């Protein structure tokens, strides 16, 4: 009698879809969706349990947080606390967490060893802002995003500069990056904050429409873009968390 070969029941797993292809597919599928619709689809269908929101708890952050919390109050929210933030931002973070009922806020800080080796005096920002952002923002976020396939940001085109052309779906370092508010302008943000009676960042009224770290943030003047107060005088307009990974920055000799 002919022997029947055992059937192999192991189904080979499909290779993971590259982030770039996934972002293109998502852009087609969700074209025209509202910000809330995009967030709902990402959290519920596309990346359940695999997506986080990264928030600076800055001047416009309450909008994204308010929309997201209505979809899922337990959505992980990553807050990069660089150790150089304004006390007003830390207080605002606590206020929003309470007001909105955020249930999974992840406050991420720089690695103690990185600070010890690269910035023992805490003044790396003065001469080496890119290196300072790298150890205080880029590397902590890289660690915080382990285990996630995608993340939400609150970036918008009206911020200007490199952000003018951002799309709702982008990719970075193998992950899908979702910017649900990409096309929202300042008027729409203000209207949303007012209609929903959301607390405002206390520095906004003092001329700070974009708020980062104390040493690298100032108020803007009449007619300036919203991010003109960031790294004023430097040829730098982004901290680096939205740039593709670059080689680890070694401590500059002049800062030793
Ligand atoms: S914004 Fe300034 S202080 Fe903050 S991490 Fe970057 S260089 Fe350092």
Nearest ligand 1 atom, CA 85:
4
145 Cα: distance to centroid of ligand 1 (angstroms): 20
The pLDDT assigned to 14 comes to 58
pLDDT at 106 over 70: yes
The pLDDT assigned to 13 comes to 54
pLDDT at 202 over 90: yes
Protein residues whose CB sits closer than 6 Å to any atom of ligand 1 = 82, 84, 125, 129, 132-133, 136-137, 212-213, 215-216, 239
* Mean pLDDT taken over the chain: 90
Taking only the tens place, the pLDDT of each residue in 208-250 is 999 999 999 999 999 898 889 898 988 888 888 998 876 555 4
Kindly report the protein residue whose alpha carbon is nearest to atom 4 of ligand 1. Answer: 213
The pLDDT assigned to 252 comes to 46
The pLDDT assigned to 254 comes to 34
The pLDDT assigned to 75 comes to 98
CA distances from 139 to 108, 135, 149, 215 (A): 10, 5, 17, 20
| DSSP label of 120 | T
Cα–Cα distance measured from residue 74 to residue 103, given in angstroms and rounded to the nearest whole number: 5
The pLDDT assigned to 16 comes to 78
The pLDDT assigned to 2 comes to 43
Nearest ligand 1 atom, CA 213:
4
Domains belonging to the chain, first-starting first, are 19-247 (3.40.50.620)
Which of 45, 213, 239, 256 is labelled catalytic? 239
pLDDT at 10 over 80: no
| Residue range 109-118: mean pLDDT, rounded | 98
CB-CB contact of 103 with 74 (8 Å): yes
Half-sphere exposure of 255 (CA within 13 A, CB side): 22
Taking only the tens place, the pLDDT of each residue in 143-179 is 999 999 999 999 999 888 888 999 999 999 999 999 9
The pLDDT assigned to 6 comes to 45
239 is catalytic: yes
């Amino acid at each position: 009698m002919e022997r029947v070969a055992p059937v192999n029941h192991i189904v080979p797993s499909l290779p993971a879809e590259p982030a770039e292809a996934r972002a293109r597919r998502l852009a087609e599928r969700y074209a025209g969706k509202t910000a809330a619709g995009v967030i709902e689809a990402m959290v519920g269908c596309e990346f359940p349990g695999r997506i986080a929101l990264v928030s600076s708890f800055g001047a416009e952050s309450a909008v994204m947080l308010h929309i997201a919390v209505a979809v899922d109050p337990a959505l992980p929210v990553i807050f990069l606390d660089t150790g150089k933030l304004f006390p007003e931002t830390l207080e605002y973070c606590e206020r929003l967490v309470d007001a909105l009922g955020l249930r999974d806020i992840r406050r991420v800080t720089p690695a103690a060893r990185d600070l010890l080796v690269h910035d023992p005096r805490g003044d790396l920002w003065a001469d080496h802002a890119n290196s300072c952002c790298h150890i205080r923002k880029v590397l902590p976020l890289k660690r915080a995003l382990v285990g996630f396939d995608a993340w939400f940001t609150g970036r918008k085109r009206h911020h200007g500069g490199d952000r003018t052309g951002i799309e709702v779906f982008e990719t970075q370092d193998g992950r899908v990056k979702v910017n649900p508010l990409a096309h929202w302008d300042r008027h729409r943000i203000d209207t949303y904050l007012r209609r929903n009676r959301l607390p405002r960042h206390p520095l906004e009224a003092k001329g700070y429409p974009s708020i980062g770290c104390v040493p690298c943030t100032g108020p803007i003047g009449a007619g300036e873009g919203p991010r003109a107060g960031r790294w004023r005088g430097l040829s730098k307009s982004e901290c680096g968390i939205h740039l593709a990974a670059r080689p680890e920055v070694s401590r500059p000799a002049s800062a030793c």
